[in-house]
Amino acid sequence: MKIKLSPMNRLSLLGLLPNIGDSTTLKIVREMREELSFTPKEHEILQFKPTADGKVTWHEIPEVEYNYEGIHEIVIEKVKTELRKMEEMGELILDHLSLYEVLIEKANSSDVEKESSDDELTLIDKK
């Protein structure tokens, strides 16, 4: 699966990955955590800095978006389910809104073109 994720989306997704599951799912989650982690070069560009209230800030550069191949559909579906559940219960938090828009709203929108091959779904934002 290819999907564009901003640094905030990546951090939100990392926080929503399941910590409990069967061994196969947890191995996939472990692999996804590694794929979503920031490289030393990304740290250099984004210049992450902790704040006094325990949050993290960085230099937001609009051009810095990431295309991931290898994000496993099974885990993405679990994250989507969790985001939908949070939305239905009115418990979606602001930090997750952008990720919700990318994974739920854009995927259901006519603004996104879906291309499928044997085992790959590519989301392409037409805007």
Q: Which of 5, 2, 1 is nearest to 100 (CA)?
A: 5
Q: Which of 28, 46, 26 is nearest to 38 (CA)?
A: 46
Q: Which of 78, 65, 83, 69 is nearest to 8 (CA)?
A: 65
With respect to residue 44, please indicate whether it lies within any of the assigned structural domains: no
With respect to residue 46, please indicate whether it lies within any of the assigned structural domains: no
* pTM of the predicted protein model: 0.70
What is the pLDDT, as a whole number, of residue 81? 93
Asked if pLDDT for residue 112 goes beyond 80, the answer is no
With respect to residue 48, please indicate whether it lies within any of the assigned structural domains: no
Averaged pLDDT of the chain: 79
Q: Show the domain range for 119.
A: 4-37+64-125
With respect to residue 19, please indicate whether it lies within any of the assigned structural domains: yes
29 or 69, higher pLDDT: 29
With respect to residue 69, please indicate whether it lies within any of the assigned structural domains: yes
For residue 95, give the H/E element and its range: helix 94-100
What the block records as the tokens of 75 is 């885990």
Q: Give the number of domains in the chain.
A: 1
With respect to residue 28, please indicate whether it lies within any of the assigned structural domains: yes
- For 30-41, b/e burial (b = at least 16 CB within 10 A) is eebeeebebeee
Asked if pLDDT for residue 45 goes beyond 70, the answer is yes
With respect to residue 57, please indicate whether it lies within any of the assigned structural domains: no
With respect to residue 17, please indicate whether it lies within any of the assigned structural domains: yes
Q: What is the mean pLDDT of residues 118-126?
A: 37
